[in-house]
A = this chain, B = another copy of it.
Amino acid sequence: MPCPPDVISRLKEIVGVDKFSTGASNLSLHSKDESFHHAHLPDVVVWPENTEEVRDVVRLCYEKGIPVTPWGAGTSLEGNPIPVKGGVVIDLQKMDRILHIRENDLQTEVQAGVVFKDLNKKLARYGLFFPPDPGASATIGGMVANNASGIRAIKYGATKDLIQKMTVVLADGEIIHPGTLAFKSSSGLDLCRLFAGSEGILGIITEVTLRLVGIPPEFLSAVVSFSTAEAASLTVSQIIRSGLSPAALELMGTNAVRLINKYTEDFDFPESPLVFIEFHGTNKAGLSADLALVRELCEDNGATHFEAGIGRQARGKLWEARYNLHDFILREHPGLEPIAIDAAVPISKLPDIVAYSEKASAKRGIVGYVFGHAGSGNIHMPMMGNPSDEKSWGVLEEINREIVAFALSLGGTATGEHGVGIGKIPFMESEHGESLVLMRKIKKLLDPKGILNPGKMF
């Protein structure tokens, strides 16, 4: 059902004519995220500038029963913000103000549309940073709604773990401010963590107060090669078990390493599985002692190459290469689209899921690029294909299904950080069982008319 004309003109009044569009190119820009999932055009896009405008838009849509889908930067990988039922897309990118930096409390209050990279640039002047880092240029609102995490979750937690307070517009337009600015609280029900990771289906998050971390004065990085992915992932699991507290522990399979060698000028790693390790600390002495322990563990597991003491510049290039991996994969397969794997398992099962994933693709002759946040048991394995070619794409989907089923059988999860969106809906039943009934009831309670980001999660 398209938006009726009276709603269209009312929306234009609410946000103003220059923050409103029904133009084809704007609709198209808001029809698809970075996933392979089918595009769907909204009827209208609005760019509110404050919580009150969001409230007025949502209230109107609630009255008229029109779908509302919040939009951050559109960088998600599971179709999370695709407006599959049309209606209104609320693009929050004009709500991009950093409202407060409370450096002595290690907190910042931001609007949902702030891009986390911009935030961290600003925070650096205060010696602070917001640790979660999904790689892509996501907005804070998108990261909160999706519980994004990335490479540093192992030390600092996922986005959800770093939320103090938020402003949320509920389905009927009510505005609430759950949370506290105290470091901890046992007061009432934890609504912040109910909205965090809810992908816009319970309410629209317009402002957030985040917990920050001091930029560590000392970094230490190492790159370690192994002859097999199993040896690499076994080492990762042992490092975690040892009581060390790495800030990042990233695994790259041989296929991924090959692309890094090919598409960067800076690296020529042995073509075998690789682990990036990073420690953050307050002093060099402590980090060096930790590194000695890690080196011992790596050598015990047959590391074939160990390079540490990487300087700040090389370290930057290393992470840049790691972040660009997604692009390298796209460049390697022009015209094709990726299906992402995002399973996570208990850390002792990391060697199993890595071996299983590599086998599942290899036995079908598919190239899978295993990499991931190994330290938190979360692996990805993009595979490239053509979603319109039902048969060949079906094979990739089958591999995805098998890996998720295997992760669930190990007590893991279908999605470590990408969220459910559209792509992971089929696995919700087997992952959550009877809990899913309660999740649906909560959705119904908060959004009785089903207008908020419909068609997602359940």
Q: 9 tightest CB-CB pairs across the interface, nearest first?
A: A286-B286, A214-B243, A181-B411, A283-B289, A285-B285, A104-B348, A182-B344, A185-B413, A105-B346
Contact, CB under 8 Å: B344 / A418: no
Q: Which residue among A148, A178, A349 has the maximum number of chain B CB atoms within 10 Å of its CB?
A: A178
> Can you list 7 A-B pairs with a CB-CB distance of less than 8 A?
A177-B435, A184-B417, A185-B344, A189-B194, A189-B202, A286-B287, A441-B445
Q: Which of A304-312, A393-401, A425-433 contacts B (4 or more CB under 8 A)?
A: A425-433
A281–B147 CA distance with the chains assembled, in angstroms:
29
A224–B330 CA distance with the chains assembled, in angstroms:
58
Chain B residues with CB below 8 A from A344, complex form: 180, 182-185
A373-408 vs B, CB cutoff 8 Å, 1 = contact: the mask equals: 000111000000000000000000000000000010
Given known A180-B413, A283-B290, A433-B177, contact A190–B196 (CB-CB < 8 A): yes
Q: Which of A5-13, A86-94, A153-161, A260-268 contacts B (4 or more CB under 8 A)?
A: A153-161
Report if A35 contacts B (CB, 8 A). Answer: no
Q: Which residue of B lies closest to A343 (CB)?
A: B182
Chain B residues with CB below 8 A from A3, complex form: none
Report if A103 contacts B (CB, 8 A). Answer: yes
Report if A436 contacts B (CB, 8 A). Answer: yes
Contact, CB under 8 Å: B181 / A412: yes
Interface residues of A (CB under 8 A from B): 102-107, 127, 146-149, 153-154, 157-158, 160-161, 170, 174-178, 180-191, 193-194, 196-198, 202, 213-217, 237, 240-245, 281-283, 285-290, 293, 344-349, 376-378, 407, 410-420, 424, 427-428, 431-439, 441-443, 445-446, 457
Q: Which residue of B lies closest to A185 (CB)?
A: B413
Given known A182-B413, A346-B183, contact A439–B241 (CB-CB < 8 A): no
A202–B188 CA distance with the chains assembled, in angstroms:
11
Contact, CB under 8 Å: A186 / B197: yes
A323–B424 CA distance with the chains assembled, in angstroms:
48
Q: Which residue of B lies closest to A154 (CB)?
A: B183
Given known A105-B348, A189-B198, contact A438–B176 (CB-CB < 8 A): yes
A434–B173 CA distance with the chains assembled, in angstroms:
12
Q: Which residue among A174, A188, A415, A420 has the maximum number of chain B CB atoms within 10 Å of its CB?
A: A188
Chain B residues with CB below 8 A from A346, complex form: 102, 105, 107, 181-183
Given known A289-B286, A432-B188, A436-B188, contact A183–B377 (CB-CB < 8 A): yes
Contact, CB under 8 Å: B197 / A190: yes
Q: Which residue of B lies closest to A215 (CB)?
A: B243
Q: Which residue among A154, A345, A420, A438 has the maximum number of chain B CB atoms within 10 Å of its CB?
A: A438
Chain B residues with CB below 8 A from A148, complex form: 186
Partner of A435, one of B188, B193, B414, B457: B188
Known: A147-B184, A180-B412, A181-B346. 11 other contacts (CB 8 A): A103-B241, A106-B347, A158-B184, A178-B438, A182-B344, A183-B376, A187-B415, A214-B241, A214-B243, A281-B286, A283-B290
Contact, CB under 8 Å: A434 / B193: no
Given known A170-B438, A175-B434, A190-B160, contact A378–B345 (CB-CB < 8 A): no
| Smallest CB separation, A452 vs chain B (Å) | 13
Chain B residues with CB below 8 A from A202, complex form: 189
| Smallest CB separation, A411 vs chain B (Å) | 3
Chain B residues with CB below 8 A from A177, complex form: 433-435
A127–B377 CA distance with the chains assembled, in angstroms:
21
Q: Which residue of B lies closest to A161 (CB)?
A: B161
Contact, CB under 8 Å: A432 / B106: no
Chain B residues with CB below 8 A from A290, complex form: 282-283, 286
A154–B53 CA distance with the chains assembled, in angstroms:
38
Contact, CB under 8 Å: A105 / B243: no
Given known A180-B431, A286-B287, A377-B182, contact A414–B215 (CB-CB < 8 A): no
Chain B residues with CB below 8 A from A181, complex form: 345-346, 410-412
Contact, CB under 8 Å: A431 / B188: yes
A346–B344 CA distance with the chains assembled, in angstroms:
34
A157–B176 CA distance with the chains assembled, in angstroms:
26
A436–B157 CA distance with the chains assembled, in angstroms:
27
A445–B435 CA distance with the chains assembled, in angstroms:
14
Given known A191-B435, A242-B214, A445-B441, contact A415–B289 (CB-CB < 8 A): no
